[in-house]
Amino acid sequence: MNKSYKELWDLAASICSVLPESIKCAAGWKKFGKACYYFSNTTTDWMGAKQFCTDQNSFLVIINNDNEQVSYPLCLL
């Protein structure tokens, strides 16, 4: 693992460790910030994924910037 990647990983781990504990997520879901996320191993198209989320009273995640692109996956591992 190169030094920059390790530093990023360590930073993400420290951020993730101080997230609020007040939010409880259903079994199989992972907490990040003020929301719960679900990762499916099932391959489907966008409409199928959207329908699954709708059935779960949830929404597909929207990644708005590079910071979210990096931090979401690291905190949700």
The CA-to-CA distance between both ends of the chain, in Å, stands at 17
- The pLDDT assigned to 48 comes to 94
Sequence-distant (6+) residues with CB within 8 A of 13 are: 74
Residue 44 lies in a domain: yes
Residue 17 lies in a domain: no
- The pLDDT assigned to 1 comes to 53
Q: Any idea what the CATH number is for the domain that residue 67 is in?
A: 3.10.100.10
> How crowded is residue 71: how many other Cβ atoms within 10 Å of its Cβ?
19
Sequence-distant (6+) residues with CB within 8 A of 36 are: 23, 25, 26, 29, 30, 58
Residue 29 DSSP one-character state:
E
Domain hosting 62: range is 22-76
Can you give the pLDDT of all 77 residues of the chain as single tens digits? 566 766 766 666 666 655 556 678 889 888 877 788 888 888 999 999 999 999 999 998 877 777 666 666 556 55
Count up the domains in the chain and report the number.
1
